[in-house]
Amino acid sequence: MDRPSVCIIGCGTYGSYLLRQLRERHGDALDITVVEVGNETTRSSEEIGLATSSDTSKVSRFGRYFGLGGTSARWGGQILFFDERDIQTDDPDWNYVVELNNRHRGRVLRELLGRKKKLREKEDPRVKNGIWLGYFKRNLFKRLGKKDKAAVRWLKNSRVTGFNAAPDGTISGVEIRAVDGTDSVVEADRFYLTSGALESCRLLRKLDNGTLARTDLGKNLGDHVSVELFRVKNSPPVLHGVDFTPRFIGSSLFTKRLLVNTQGGRVNFAHVVPNKDVAAFTVLKKAMFGRQEGGASLKEVVQSFKFLALFGSKLVFRRKLHIHRNDWSLQLDIEQGDETDNEVLISQETDRFGEPGIHVKWKVSRSDRAAIAEAKKKVKQVLDAEGHRYEELFTDIHEYEKLEDTYHPVGFIRMGEDERAPVDRDFRVRGTQNLYHFSTALFRSAKSINPTGAGFCLIEEHLERAYPMSS
């Protein structure tokens, strides 16, 4: 008897998580094929030859990595979840997202951390906690064992170029093109589009089923707008009476963020950024995020020896991050909301596979600026209440770049129950019978979190509903 067949398009962050869960739960009962544009080496979109462009946003360059593990080989590995504090109005789709996050967050944490661990949320409702995966646990592909890898059919260095779809919406196969120009077709009973938010949108633009053309596919792109607001001098990072010093439990770093709500239902956050002026810490952080551009001089490193000694001793004996001279910055990240004028478009440029590229149309709107100004006033009140001495850094917006490469594009392949949503509540691409999608773009906005971990909860829900399957 033939086994049910599954094809995973893209083995990056979400594809790797999905593949491990399928193998863990169903083993050899499924015939799994993985199509990946890269290979064992992690490459940026430019390095791998994919065409991306934007006049204003750097997400198309700094936020995209390809190869087995994808962006998880370069991300910070911070896991957070949506909860009731992210809902400012009664919205069925957002209520559904929070319900799924509450239902599956425990399993996701156990899967990623290898043991039961909770994100403590009891100290203050205005503070949200996040946990960072250990440095050597961030690449999700590396969690697959040799037996699991050997049981999968791998098509590396291959790009999906199209879909073979029947009138009823059943996808019978995907067309792929190898680096050497060879074309072929992969057939399966079920397909998963997990090639990253931007690339998935590009591929769905090519799926001309009539239904998707009537949805908001590609529209309402959002991300966090990130600005540095204040520099605090010689004062511990305490806000609302809560110590925001990052701490370690095992190999995992726990950090806190301050929730800052603004008009229009936006849920934003501010967080502490320590040691910005310490050369050794900057070099270390850039190396961890794969963004080592240049480096520190020998003199700067020598001057950092005292810092490194304190850093190491506090890490070993007190399990907390050393903040040099108690100097730290406070950075604000605002969500852009559920509806924006930003879009993901198909460009005229072609890539090394002969495929059209992606153009990201993104800007900071007038309402974004108003939200930043409102949030800044609220954060300033918190600093004043704690008696902090600080320097105001932010006066106007000129350049938008994240301090780390933490880009989280959302909104443009949103999940919802209305017909304008490109993906339904079963995570199935609208107008199809057997094509499913997972990425951060399913969420209408990023709210108060880095939404990668929240997306794993959607995969867990799907696996509970959709399996076992028959061929």
Amino acid at 221: L
pLDDT band at 45 (very low <50, low <70, confident <90, very high): confident
Annotation: CATH topology of 1-104+135-218+342-362+410-471: FAD/NAD(P)-binding domain (3.50.50)
Residue 199: both structure tokens together: 């690339």
Return mean pLDDT, the chain: 87
- DSSP helix/strand/coil, 150: helix
Instruction: Report the pLDDT averaged over residues 82-96.
Output: 94
Tell me, rounded to whole angstroms, the distance of Cα 52 from its chain centroid: 18
Q: Compute CA distances 209 → 188, 212, 249, 294, whole Å.
A: 19, 6, 49, 48
The 10s digit of each residue's pLDDT in 277-294 is 766 566 556 555 554 444
The Cα 323–Cα 274 span in angstroms is 6
In this predicted model, which residue has the larger pLDDT, 104 or 116?
104
The Cα 213–Cα 420 span in angstroms is 9
In this predicted model, which residue has the larger pLDDT, 19 or 468?
19
The 10s digit of each residue's pLDDT in 121-178 is 566 899 999 998 887 788 999 999 999 999 999 999 999 999 999 999 999 999 999 9
Nearest to 198 by CA among 87, 33, 19, 351: 351
Return the domain boundaries, the chain.
1-104+135-218+342-362+410-471
Which range (51-65, 214-228, 373-387) has the least confidence? 51-65
pLDDT band at 187 (very low <50, low <70, confident <90, very high): very high
Q: Is residue 402 scored above 60 in pLDDT? A: no
pTM of the model: 0.91
Q: Among 46-60, 200-214, 386-400, 404-418, which range has the highest average pLDDT?
A: 200-214
The Cα 216–Cα 95 span in angstroms is 20
